């Protein structure tokens, strides 16, 4: 199953529609995992990578 707990951010409304259609094909077994990963890369906004220090600072600021 492709779905996970994170909220998806799409590049556009069109990308969202295309990705959701591809996801349905993947879940139906019509599309393979590698093709689904290509749709992920094309349609989803990349996630930002944080260093351990950045995460620590974010946590400290949210508590204060």
Residue 40 has pLDDT above 90, yes or no: yes
For residue 1, the model assigns a pLDDT of 43
Confidence of residue 62 (pLDDT cuts 50, 70, 90): confident
How far are the Cα atoms of 2, 5, 21, 55, 58 from residue 25, in angstroms, in the given order? 11, 20, 6, 36, 38
Average pLDDT over residues 58-63: 89
* 9 neighbors 45 (Cβ within 8 angstroms): yes
């Amino acid at each position: 199953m492709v779905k996970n707990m994170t909220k998806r951010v799409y590049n556009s409304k069109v990308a969202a529609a295309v990705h959701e259609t591809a996801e349905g094909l993947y879940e139906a077994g019509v599309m393979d995992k590698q093709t689904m990963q290509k749709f992920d890369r094309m349609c989803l906004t990349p996630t930002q990578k944080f260093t351990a220090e950045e995460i620590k600072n974010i946590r400290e600021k949210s508590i204060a």
